[in-house]
A and B are shown apart, each in its own frame.
Chain A
C-alpha cells in the first residue's frame, strides 16, 4: 500500500517534470504564454492604467513635502543665479568701458582709477563716485570719461567715496583753447549743466562747432582733454572779448563709468 503510494508520487513527479521540460524546450512555451497573455490582455491593460494613475496620485501626496522643499531650493538657486548674472553683466559693462579706454590709449598718458557713479546731484552739478582715500584719490584730481572727455575734478574725498565737481559747477573755471588753433579762453561753469567760454580774443573769427580742449595752464587739468564744442558765439563792440557757450562733450545725466586721473 505504502509502496504503491510512493510509486504514484514518483510517477506523477516524473510525468510533470517531463511535461515541463518538453514545454520549456519547444515552441509550446511561447504559445502557452501567448495564450494566457491574450486572455488577460484587456484586464491587464485596465489594471495597468488604473495603477499608473493611482500611483501618480499617491506619489504626489507622499512627495508633496519633498517637492515643496525642492521648489524652495530652486527659488533660492534662481535668486543666486540672477544676482550672479547681474554682477556678471556689470563686470561685462565695466570690461567694455576699460577696453574703450585702452583703445583711446588713456593708460599710456595717465595713471587712472576706474570709478562708478553712485549718486548724481544735477542741481548742484556734482556726482558721487565709489572711489575714495583707500583708492589713492586726492582732492582736485581730474575726472574724465573713457572717450577722454573732461567731466570735472574731485571736490571732496571720503574713505570710500568721492564727490566730483562737474565742469558746469559755478565754482569752477579753467583755461581752455580751441583745438588746432592757438586761441585761448576761460571756461566757466554756469550751473545747471551749462558752461560758458569767456575771454576769447575779439579779433578772432570763431565758428560754432569748434572743439574746446583743456590746456596745461593753471595745472588743474591735463592738456588736450576734450571739453565740448562752441555754440552761440557772442561778439559786441562794447566788450573787448568774445563769449560763447560750450556744449559739453558728455551728457552729464547719462554718466555711469568714469576715470579719476591720479597722476598726469
Chain B
C-alpha cells in the first residue's frame, strides 16, 4: 500500500513536471505526445519491475495516472473527455499483467 501511494505521488509529480517544466523544451524534443508517452513508459517499468505479476495495485495506479493525464492534458487527438487516458492506461496495464502472468517466468536464485 505504501508502495502504491509513493507511486501515485511520483506519477502526479512526473505529470506536473512534464506539463509545466518540460513543455518549455518543445523546440528540442517535447511535443503533445511526449507527456503520455513518458508516463506510459514509467508505468510499464513499474508494472514489470516493481510489482509481482499476481498483484493488482498497478492496475489502480494505471487508472489513477490516466485520470491525472486526462485532467492535466488539454485533449487527446482532439477529444476532450475525462476517461480517455484512464481507458488507455488501464487496458495497457491489463495487457502487461496478462502477458507477465501467462508467458513470463522468473527463475529463483539458488
Contact = CB atoms under 8 A, between A and B. Distances in A.
Contacts of B86: 16, 20
Contacts of A20: 81-83, 86
Contacts of B25: 51, 55, 58
A54 B24 contact: yes
Nearest to A19: B83
Interface string A27-44: 001001100110010011
B71 A33 contact: yes
A36 B82 contact: no
Interface string B92-107: 0000000000000000
A50 B27 contact: no
A85 interface: no
Nearest to A56: B24
B81 to A, nearest CB: 6
A58 B28 CA distance: 10
Contacts of B76: none
B29 to A, nearest CB: 12
A37 B82 CA distance: 15
Interface string B50-63: 00000000000001
B16 interface: yes
Contacts of B82: 20, 23-24, 29, 32-33
- Determine the interface band of chain A, counting residues with CB < 8 A from chain B: 20 to 34
Contacts of B21: 47-48, 50-51, 54
A16 B22 CA distance: 32
A37 B17 CA distance: 14
Nearest to A59: B27
A52 interface: yes
B40 interface: no
A208 to B, nearest CB: 81
Interface in B10-48: 16-17, 19-25, 27-28
Interface string A62-92: 1000000000000000000000000000000
A44 B16 contact: yes
Contact of A40 (B16, B22, B28): B16
Contacts of A55: 24-25
Contacts of A59: 27
Contacts of A40: 16, 72
A51 B16 contact: no
Contact of A51 (B22, B28, B63, B83): B22
Interface of A: 16-17, 20, 23-24, 29, 32-33, 36-37, 40, 43-45, 47-48, 50-52, 54-55, 58-59, 62
11 contacts: A16-B63, A20-B83, A20-B86, A44-B19, A44-B20, A47-B16, A48-B24, A51-B20, A54-B24, A55-B24, A59-B27
